[in-house]
Structure 1
Amino acid sequence: MSTFSRVLRVELIRLRRRRAVLVIAAAILLVPLAIGGLVAWNSRPLSDGERAEAAAQAQRDLQECIQHPRRWGAPRAADAERFCTRNIDPSPEWYIYRPTLDLRSDQTEGGAAAALVVIALALLAGTTFIGHDWASGSVSNQLLFTPRRVPVWLAKAVALAVTALAWAAVSLTAYWLLLGAVAARRDLPVGDGVLLDCLQMGWRAAVVAAGAAVGGYALTMLLRSTVGALGVIAAVAVAGGIVLAATGFSGALNPATNVDAVLRDGTRYWVDLPCGSPEDVDNNCGREELRTLGQGAGYLGSGLVVVALGSVWSFRRRDVP
């Protein structure tokens, strides 16, 4: 067995035994299911009791309109009954609004929320896993048995990537299969290929989650502190957005736009243009542009590579206490 394979096996075992990581893994698996359950509950069909309540409310409104027609905008009291009957809809949907479950539209709502939660938790798993090693001083002990630092760094990264990918793929696949089963039970039309598109969105999100886990790990290896890594991530998220917006590059260079492009297999974003300029052909002082899956993946991947290279260089050069 090679050194890398041996270290990788050890890191996979350590990852499964880290309690904080297991808590995060449980959250990755359960939170999307909770979101899916909430989506299914909020889109449930109206019950007989709710329909009866809505019908009773319609009758009360009708009587109120007939007795006080001017409050309801009737032109003449003599025509109040006909006016009220024509303008008050007795259907339950008029009184109780509840959206119908639609997998396609849920890709930008509950599905997107579930994917982003999983990605954030995977990043937290990456920072937590290695941050504990630096805090406890166990990194130096590990290097006593495997002095070559690059294989150690790579083994930890691969262990995190594979594990996060598996967790996220299982979780998001379960999310979409749950909603698909609910739609089938309610006899709702899903559309040809829609469920597969949703599953593919979840699988792309799983790849992003694996990258986020490695990115969080690499940044924590560079800073040697979980708190420091999370602080840098929060600062970049806040200050970076402000800087990009101030410089006019908040579209294509915005990490959120690129994550959305990867999750949804392409996305559109708004670009401000000088009003009346030759580029402003529709006189809207801007236009929509397409950010493709490849462009989004290239943006996120290049950022991950930069952080990883800096982390490897630092781990090789700096002393380990």
Structure 2
Amino acid sequence: MGALLKVELTRLRWRRAVVLLLAAAVLVPAVVVGATAWGTRPLSEADLASAESDFGGRFLRQEVRSCGREPQFYGLEDVAAAELPEACRLEVVSSYVGRSPLNLSESLEGGAMVVVASVLVLLMVMLGTTFVGHDWNTGSMSNQLLFEARRGRVWAAKALAVGAVGLLVALLVSLACWLALVAIASSRDLSTGDGVLLDGLEQCLRTGLVAAGAAFGGYALTMLLRSTVATLGVVFALTVLGGTLIGVLGGQETQRWQPQLNVMAAMTNEVTYYDDSGLEPACLTGMARPRLDCDATQRIGAVQGGSYVGVVLLALGAASVVSFRRRDVP
């Protein structure tokens, strides 16, 4: 198995399309981090003066006073009283300009790190299908089986190769992006918050695991369909139409099974969605008693999302390996 794995890794390394995908897996996240750093850069004195001039002195003072009275509504509840006026001024002007300071927690929940993770997962799906699709397209799969007739070993070696590369690339790239954002925040004297650094590292690990699963899924589906184009078509249909079909057929209560929500939960630790199907009728009519729980927010955790993804990949892998072992190879 070790020799087969080395052969598959070498074959993977020399595929031009794979090299381009790996380059994109580095460059696109780098652009995302760069754009985030630029879009959250501190306001200069010229920016402040221009914004204050456009904002209007009277309205600016009113908004700053409102911030001083209720800083919790501006995210400044932890600011010392002596520093609050200047902090309120910066917050109000920043909101007007549309340039907020870099927030690492927001980057993890729905900002740069989520974009990076989504890009990596998509590229790893393409890597898995491109790698083995070339073998089917050129007819080299039959030649490979001349040297190793045990199809299960060939299938497993290819799966390990794409999974390992997907895990390594996604983990290293996401870690580099996260540490870059942390360094940027530190250089600007921005507070990272308790436990945020560790949360980011854990999210990078989850991103690597999901990306490895995505690479494996792209590979397994292509081994089943024997076509890169067919695999990409199925992935597109599941991504765009699958969730829509689930929602149309089942309503709000089926959102728990939406593929996108579960993949996102597996990467980001938790996602929320709205489902009022289980609420009491009084909640929907506005006649609910004070103690009645009318919260329609539902949550999918990382374990639930990861289990969903794992079951799908396990079923896909089983179908793929059975098909490869039993069907004729042209």
Q: What TM-score results when the alignment is normalised by the length of structure 2?
A: 0.83
1:17 aligns with 2:19: no
**Residue 44 of structure 1: SS of its match in structure 2?**
coil
* Secondary structure, aligned partner of 1:290: strand
**Alignment partner, residue 230 of structure 2:** 228
Secondary structure of 2:97's aligned partner: coil
Q: Which of the residues 153, 158, 161 maps onto 1:159?
A: 161
CA distance in 2 between counterparts of 1:308 and 1:85 reads 60
Matched AA of 2:34: G
Question: Given the superposition, is the C-alpha separation of residues 255 and 86 from structure 1 closer, same or farther in structure 2, using an over 3 Å criterion?
Answer: closer
Partner of 1:318: 327
Is contact 2:239-2:260 (8 Å) kept? no
Does residue 293 (structure 1) correspond to residue 297 (structure 2)? The answer is: no
Q: Can you give the 5+ residue segments of structure 1 that lack an aligned partner in the other structure?
A: 63-82
Residue correspondences, number: 296
Residues 285 and 193 of structure 1, relative CA distance in 2, 3 Å threshold: closer
CA contact (8 A) 2:25 2:120 kept: yes
What's the CA shift for 1:53?
2.6
How far apart are 1:320 and its partner, in Å? 0.6
Q: Displacement of 1:44 after TM fit?
A: 0.4
Partner of 2:313: 304
For structure 2, the residue ranges without an aligned partner over 5 or more in a row are: 65-85
Alpha-carbon contact 1:274-1:286 (below 8 Å) kept: no
The secondary structure found in structure 1 opposite 2:296 is strand
- Out of 269, 273, 279, which is 2:273 matched to? 269
Alignment check: 8 A CA contact 2:262 2:300 kept: yes
The SS at the match of 1:272 is coil
Q: Give the aligned residue type for 1:116.
A: S
Q: Which residue of 2 aligns with 1:72?
A: none
How far the C-alpha of 1:196 sits from its partner, in A, is 1.5
Give the aligned partner of residue 77 of structure 1.
none
When residues 300 and 55 of structure 1 are mapped into structure 2, their CA distance, relative to the original with a 3 A threshold, is closer
Name the SS for the 2:7 alignment partner.
helix
Displacement of 1:268: 2.6
Change (3 A) 1:245 1:56: closer
Question: Which range moved further: 276-285 or 309-318?
Answer: 276-285
- Letter paired with 1:306: A
The residue that corresponds to 1:65 in the other structure is: none
Distance 1:277 1:117, change over 3 A: same
Among 208, 211, 220, which residue is 1:209 paired with?
211
Residue by residue over 1:208-264, the C-alpha shift from the partner in whole angstroms, topping out at 9 and shown as x without a partner, is 000000000000010100000011111122331122112124321011121122122
Q: Is residue 171–residue 204 contact of structure 2 (8 Å, CA) maintained in 1?
A: yes
CA positional deviation for 1:106:
1.0
Task: Identify the range of structure 1 (49-58 vs 139-148) with the bigger mean alpha-carbon deviation.
Answer: 49-58
CA-to-partner distance for each residue in 1:109-164, whole Å, 9 max, x for gaps? Answer: 21111101100000000000001111011101100100110000000000001111
Whole-Å Cα distance in 2 between the matches of residues 208 and 154 of structure 1?
19
1:5-36 alpha-carbon deviations (Å, 9 max, x no partner): 11111001111111100110111122112111
Provide the identity percentage: 43
Alpha-carbon distance between aligned partners in 1 of 2:121 and 2:234, rounded to the nearest angstrom: 17
Matches within 5 A, 1:46-61: 46-57=43-54, 61=56
Find out whether 1:38 has 2:55 as its counterpart: no
CA contact (8 A) 1:183 1:189 kept: yes
Q: 1:34 to 1:9 in 2, by over 3 A?
A: same
Q: Give the 3 Å change call, closer, same or farther, for CA 225–188 of structure 1 in structure 2.
A: same
Q: Quick check: 1:29–1:170 contact (8 Å CA) kept in 2?
A: no
SS in 2 for 1:251: helix
